[in-house]
């Protein structure tokens, strides 16, 4: 018999103004809170966080910048600060790297963490893992954590005000759940209940974004919240998170491998995880040798969700830089989940095909 270990977030709140429940949530977890996040995220939510904690009689010990990278050095630095301040709960705000850093700090110290995403770029807010990098931003590993967030606060009003490119990143990253899991299942068909559940959730992610993604992106371009945005936020955070949780991480393939390759190039590593994954989705479809009609249809969906369709939208790369990205992508662990072996030549051909179809 095999063992199963699924780690879920204890509470997920999504909707307009749910950040106003933060005080109540934190008071149930501890009386001494440390706020950690990115510079812009801290600026966006500091006043609301302070007001909520004050009303709930929770002490805000300090606010700290997460350090810019989810690296061992930054995690250890912040853990030392939290220990010195005798923090009882960590509040993490920002995007994927910030939240992954906060989750790792809390797990290292055995403290509860509340995540407040300020951009809808990944499902990091809900997952019990951290994608770690070295101090220079090069991909290091995917590190499983023994705990998930105690609470996830997904405020659609806050997220509607974020730069639209970050919603586009979330849409691209979440579409990958279906494209990649389908590719993985072609090699290892889902048979066990957890894998079947993960596959079903990944299809829900795709269906919700296919129906509501373009409208949600258009609304955020106008700085507006909408019912379409609420739907895709559920896909980006909840359904995508469940896909990852139920698969125990065995659902990634070429899209994420290509992203990992992009992190080795100075020009592209900071472009945005989900935007690079979104481009990787199109390359994955080309690697699977899907028909032009199918690839073009998925490219239209990607375009309407703000995902880049060409390398030139990402960066002006020379031959050596592209060769580096391709080489690192091919050797990334996730690429081994593809049904057929991917070589440098095959990936270059797939990228060239995507570039050509983009002109149509």
State pLDDT tens for residues 315-342: 999 999 999 999 999 999 999 999 999 9
- Residue ranges at the known binding site: 96-100, 127, 129, 133, 173, 256, 273
Number of other residues whose CB lies within 10 A of the CB of residue 231: 17
Q: Answer yes or no: is pLDDT of 250 > 80.
A: no
2 CB-side CA count, 13 A: 5
- Residue ranges at the known binding site for glycerol: 173, 256, 273
The residue written with tokens 């990958």 in the block is: 176
State pLDDT tens for residues 70-80: 999 999 999 99
Helix (H) or strand (E) holding 93: strand 89-94
Query: According to the model, what pLDDT value does residue 351 have?
Result: 98
What string of DSSP letters covers 210-239?
Answer: HHHHHHHHHHHHTT---HHHHHHHIIIIII
pTM, full prediction = 0.88
Query: According to the model, what pLDDT value does residue 247 have?
Result: 60
> In this structure, what token pair is assigned to residue 183?
């590719």
Query: According to the model, what pLDDT value does residue 98 have?
Result: 97
How confident is the model over 10-30, as a mean pLDDT? 96
- Residue ranges at the known binding site for NAD(+): 96-100, 127, 129, 133
Greater confidence (269 vs 56) lies with: 56
State pLDDT tens for residues 199-218: 888 999 999 999 999 999 99
Of the spans 243-247, 267-271, 306-310, which averages the highest pLDDT?
306-310
How confident is the model over 265-277, as a mean pLDDT? 94
Question: What's the CA gap between 211 and 214, in Å, rounded?
Answer: 8
Q: Answer yes or no: is pLDDT of 59 > 90.
A: yes
Query: According to the model, what pLDDT value does residue 92 have?
Result: 98
Cα angle: 125, vertex 130, 134; to 5 degrees: 130
Residue 197's pLDDT band, with cuts at 50, 70 and 90, is confident
Residue 138's pLDDT band, with cuts at 50, 70 and 90, is confident
The residue among 162, 298, 297 whose CA lies nearest residue 219 is 162
Percent of the chain residues past pLDDT 70, beyond the cut: 98
Query: According to the model, what pLDDT value does residue 311 have?
Result: 96
From the number of C-beta atoms within 10 Å of its C-beta (0-12, 13-18, 19+), residue 200 rates as middle
How confident is the model over 164-169, as a mean pLDDT? 97
Q: Answer yes or no: is pLDDT of 249 > 70.
A: no
How confident is the model over 123-146, as a mean pLDDT? 89
How confident is the model over 147-167, as a mean pLDDT? 95
Percent of the chain residues past pLDDT 90, beyond the cut: 81
What is the pLDDT of the chain when averaged over all its residues?
Answer: 93
> In this structure, what token pair is assigned to residue 303?
């375009």
CA-only gyration radius of the chain, Å: 20
> In this structure, what token pair is assigned to residue 174?
């979440």
Evaluated on CA atoms 98, 101, 105, 110, the torsion sign reads positive
Q: Answer yes or no: is pLDDT of 264 > 80.
A: yes
Maximum distance among all Cα pairs of the chain, rounded to whole angstroms: 61
State pLDDT tens for residues 278-322: 999 999 999 999 999 999 999 999 999 999 999 999 999 999 999
């Amino acid at each position: 018999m095999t063992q199963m270990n699924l780690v879920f977030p204890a509470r997920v709140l999504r909707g307009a103004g749910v950040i106003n429940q933060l005080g109540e949530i934190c008071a149930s977890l501890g009386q001494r809170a440390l706020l950690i996040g990115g510079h812009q995220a801290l600026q966006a939510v500091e006043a609301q966080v302070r007001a909520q904690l004050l009303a709930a009689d929770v002490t805000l010990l300090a606010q700290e910048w997460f350090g810019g990278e989810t690296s061992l050095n930054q995690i250890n630095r912040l853990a030392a600060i939290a220990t010195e301040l005798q923090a009882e709960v960590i509040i993490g705000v920002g995007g994927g790297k910030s939240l992954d850093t906060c989750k790792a700090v809390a797990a290292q110290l055995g403290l509860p963490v509340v995540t407040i995403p300020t951009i809808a770029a990944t499902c990091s807010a809900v997952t019990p893992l951290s994608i770690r990098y070295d101090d220079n931003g090069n991909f290091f590993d995917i590190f499983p954590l023994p705990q998930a967030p105690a609470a996830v606060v997904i405020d659609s009003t806050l997220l509607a005000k974020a730069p639209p490119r970050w919603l586009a990143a979330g849409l691209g990253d979440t579409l990958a759940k279906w494209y990649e899991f389908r590719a993985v299942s072609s090699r290892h068909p889902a048979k066990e209940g957890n894998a079947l559940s993960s596959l079903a959730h990944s299809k829900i992610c795709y269906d919700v974004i296919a129906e509501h993604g373009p409208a949600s992106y258009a609304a955020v371009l106008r700085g507006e919240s909408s019912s379409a945005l609420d739907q895709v936020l559920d896909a980006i955070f909840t359904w995508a998170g469940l896909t990852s949780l139920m698969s125990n991480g065995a659902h990634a393939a070429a899209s994420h491998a290509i992203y990992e390759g992009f992190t080795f190039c100075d020009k592209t590593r900071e472009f945005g995880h989900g935007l690079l994954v979104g481009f990787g989705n199109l390359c994955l479809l080309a690697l699977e040798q899907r028909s032009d009609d199918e690839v073009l249809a998925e490219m239209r969906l990607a375009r309407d969700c703000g995902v880049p369709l060409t390398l030139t939208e990402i960066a002006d790369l020379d031959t050596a830089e592209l060769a580096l990205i391709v080489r690192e992508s091919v050797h990334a662990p996730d690429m081994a989940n593809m049904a057929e072996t991917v070589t440098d030549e095959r990936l270059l051909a797939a990228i060239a095909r995507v570039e050509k179809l983009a002109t149509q």
